[in-house]
Amino acid sequence: MDTSSALNFNNTQIAFAYKSNAALRRDYRIFQLINQNWLVQFGTQAASFLMDVGFKIPIAIGMKPTVYATFCGGNNLNEASEKINKLYQYNVKTVLDYGVEGKEREEDFIRTENAIKEAILYAANKETVDIVSSKFTGLIPFSILEKLHAKTDLTAEEKTIYEKSKSRIFDIAKLAYDKNVSLFVDAEESWIQQPLDELTYELMLLYNKEKPIIYNTAQLYRKDRLPFLKKCIEQAQKDNIIYAVKLVRGAYMEKEAERAEKMNYENPIQDTKEATDNDYNDALRITIQAIKNTAICVATHNEASSLLATQLMQQHQLPTNHPHIQFSQLYGMSDNISFNLGAAGYSVHKYMPYGPVKDVIPYLIRRAQENTSVSGQMGRELKLLKDEVKRRKLFFAI
């Protein structure tokens, strides 16, 4: 059967079957608001300012039943379990993402390490979760990564801190391997990415010999990532390991452009969206062609790329549940892609952040800013929600 031709990303009945009427009405109203770019810009700036001057708790109280409820799992894994189990009823698994970010103190690194390990142990005995996400910038000081990327010598104290950080990361990776849980390593800004790439590959050499455990992330909005991806796949074939990678478009466009202009070097970001789309789709072709020694997560909200991935799988006669091919979208976004893929038998995950509301607010602010910068993203989400509201005859929500 040609499942791609049967896929219909406009089927809102399948897309939102997991949402109660109350949740559907709530999300519809929220997307009505965040579809207004000026309101998102004003709201995120105001929220950031209020947090900086000590008003975290009032902001958290306002966000918990609204934006937080729509895009996050809960304060902790126990609270997130209800949503995780609900997704699984519709053939959609969960990627656990401890959503606390922007920390720099040792005690914060320890807390993040413990949270990631807790997530791995949670996933170890559950069919609902088999991937945990991590940000190595939550475990290593940003300033040290900058110096490593720039090939600048570390001080004796920095060397000690870095070795401690590496030990922390290797402990996490070993636990993931021992518990048979995959570990996603998030991509970061271009000026700290190289040491993270090298560290991630070092972990792959240890743990990706038989199955994909450690996944790097390739941001295809960078001009250099497609050649980088080809090089990594070739090297992994020589090393006889599985090169596992999460394919994304990118998350730091404005920050990258500002830094490039300020420091007078070429902007590493693609000149056009079309160039990014072309590289992303070429990355799909390259990885699926080499799927025996490669594993991918098609992490995108782009319908065309998601459909292309399914077509490539059919061309190469790969089953919909191939263990080296996953799909993923953010929790609360692109349900039309996730649940229709899940209903067609593909391996799909929702990327679910969780953590204390006041600590996850920076994540929510960043996601709001990213999503409003994607042309048409919020409008598409709103239209789909409106279609389902009408289908259920919940006209009082409009």
pLDDT at residue number 56: 59
Q: For the chain, what are the domain ranges?
A: 75-359
User: In whole angstroms, what is the distance from residue 73 CA to residue 355 CA?
Assistant: 8
What is the arithmetic mean of pLDDT over 129-149?
95
Structural tokens at position 381 = 């989400």
**Which H, E and C letters describe 118-179, residue by residue?**
HHHHHHHCCCCEEEEEECHHHCCCHHHHHHHHCCCCCCHHHHHHHHHHHHHHHHHHHHHHHC
Angle at 318 between CA 317 and CA 323, to 5 degrees: 170
pLDDT at residue number 48: 54
The larger pLDDT score, comparing residue 307 to residue 32, is at 307
Check: CB of residue 138 under 8 Å from CB of residue 355.
no
pTM: 0.92
Whether 171 shows a pLDDT value over 80: the answer reads yes
Gyration radius from the chain CA atoms: 20
Question: Which residues have a Cβ under 8 Å from the Cβ of 15 and sit 6 or more positions away?
Answer: 9, 335, 336, 338, 339, 340, 384, 388
- The tens digit of pLDDT for each residue in 82-127 reads 999 999 999 999 999 997 655 678 888 999 999 999 999 999 989 9
Whether 167 shows a pLDDT value over 50: the answer reads yes
CA atoms within 13 A on the CB side of 381: 28
User: In whole angstroms, what is the distance from residue 74 CA to residue 36 CA?
Assistant: 26
The larger pLDDT score, comparing residue 54 to residue 288, is at 288
- The tens digit of pLDDT for each residue in 341-356 reads 999 999 999 999 998 8
* Average pLDDT of the chain, as a whole number: 89
User: In whole angstroms, what is the distance from residue 45 CA to residue 67 CA?
Assistant: 16
Reported confidence tier of residue 64, pLDDT bands at 50, 70, 90: low
- The tens digit of pLDDT for each residue in 264-304 reads 999 999 999 999 999 999 999 999 999 999 999 999 999 99
Q: Is the domain defined by 75-359 classed in CATH 3.40.50.720?
A: no
pLDDT at residue number 43: 47
Whether 42 shows a pLDDT value over 50: the answer reads no
Structural tokens at position 244 = 């596992």
What is the arithmetic mean of pLDDT over 150-178?
97
